[in-house]
Amino acid sequence: MDSSQHRMKGTMKSLMAICLLVFGTLQSQDGAKLFKQNCAVCHAAHTDQRLTGPGLKGVFDRVPKPAEEWLTKWILNNEKMIKAGDPYAVKIYNEYGKAAMTVFEGILTEADVKAILDYIKNPPSDNVQTAGSSGVSGSAGISEEDEEAAKKDNTVLYVVLLAIVILSVLWVALRNVRVALENLNRKIEGKEILEDKGLYKEVEEWFSKNRRLVGAIGVILVFVGMKSCWNACYNIGVYYDWRTQKGYKPEQPIKFSHKLHAGDHEIACQYCHNSVEKSRHAGIPSVNVCMNCHKAIQKGPKYGEKEIAKIYEAAGFDPKTNTYDPSKQKPIEWIKVHNLPDHVYFNHSQHVVVGKIECQTCHGDVKNMTVAEQKSPLTMKWCIECHRQTEVAGLKDNPYYERMHQYLKEKYKGKKDVKFTVEKIGGLECGKCHY
């Protein structure tokens, strides 16, 4: 009996240890996510690199003790601590140019802050670093071998071309040796020395004797050439569905992955396309928007420093000295993917704010796109069909119109279509889109 109880206690202890380990892991994951969402723009979690605020490496040794209690108060309401005259709080405030830090009281709970502090205290074990690191950022890290391979995009092509050149030179040299040895042998045997036909004539004779092989090689080369031409034309917008542009996927000046940013790191579309809720245009992100994060994140998971260096060049930023040179600044020449004819009026804010249309409805599953691609035809027919099928979202927020709609549904029940779509409020009038 005692033995059974002993085993039972041991089992319970093991289960509790596993539960604590799982809970700790989940808490660490929550801390990483919370840090990324609330803190990463201004602070490097596991380095001492200075951004808008200080790097957090060693922060538990710098702040007053008990460190975790002081940091919790500071994160939740730094303004309160500064006004109360906390010496270290005032010192930090003055040291960083009296820059206002967000007050997270009401946004984060004490449990959230604890998860963030645990994340800062315990760097990821797989050497994945956050802002300010020179290593791979985020959960999308890949091996050094893959990263090195990505840096050498054209290595295979160069090797093949070099091999062709070497083999051609070797073939010509061996051909000359063969002809010389054959004539030497004929001279020893007392036979007539053969006249040198020349390289061109010999190649011509070989082609005539091996027509089938030459034909097969020719067909393969033609298909390879056609495929190369297709790819080149596709990248500049010649192919895809030429009537609607559906499938248009141009190569951008910087290899920007929507999957990495919007998908893996959950950056909202509105952060980069910040005029989508207040303008007819969604807006193309300026260099300073990229620099908000990439002033700290200096190395990507696939291309390393190569592509991020292009952002620094456009921003006139030197990552070694952490300074900007305004004379070197220039815009990034992004290629517009979704294009409408000049005679068409389309307002993003009207659809996103009033119509409550999700970005994915028109742009497809951007969170899983490495390269941005036009997924919808964006034709007049496509827009009209949408207006005929989409109910007006504003009814749910307007008691008057909701009451009127319910009244009309009852009045014309079984007689008329009273589905309150965009078409019913003039969504098919020519002047809405062409004026």
Topology of domain 20-133 in CATH is Cytochrome Bc1 Complex; Chain D, domain 2 (1.10.760)
- CATH 1.10.760.10 in the chain: give the residue spans: 20-133
pLDDT tens for the chain, residues 1 to 435: 444 444 444 444 444 444 444 444 444 457 788 887 788 777 877 777 777 678 888 888 888 888 888 888 888 888 888 888 888 888 888 887 777 788 888 788 888 888 888 888 887 654 444 444 433 333 333 444 444 444 445 677 778 888 888 988 888 888 788 878 888 888 888 888 777 777 778 778 888 888 888 889 889 989 888 888 877 665 554 555 555 567 788 889 999 999 999 998 888 898 899 899 999 999 888 898 999 888 888 888 888 888 999 999 999 999 888 889 999 999 998 988 888 888 899 999 999 988 889 999 999 999 999 889 888 888 888 899 999 999 887 666 778 877 887 888 888 888 777 788 888 888 899 988 997
From 79, 80, 83, 76, select the one nearest 104 (Cα to Cα).
Answer: 76
Cis peptide before 250 (omega within 30 of 0): no
Closest of 251, 252, 257, 331 to residue 287, by C-alpha: 331
Distance CA 330, CA 316 (A): 8
Q: Which amino acid is at 212?
A: R
Q: How far is CA 180 from CA 78, 189, 311, in A?
A: 90, 14, 60
Q: CB of 297 within 8 A of CB of 137? A: yes
CA dist 261 → 151, 229, 255, 330, 371 (Å): 20, 31, 12, 23, 12
pTM over 0.75: no
Q: Cα–chain-centroid distance for residue 179?
A: 60
Judge contact between 285 and 331, C-beta under 8 A. Answer: no
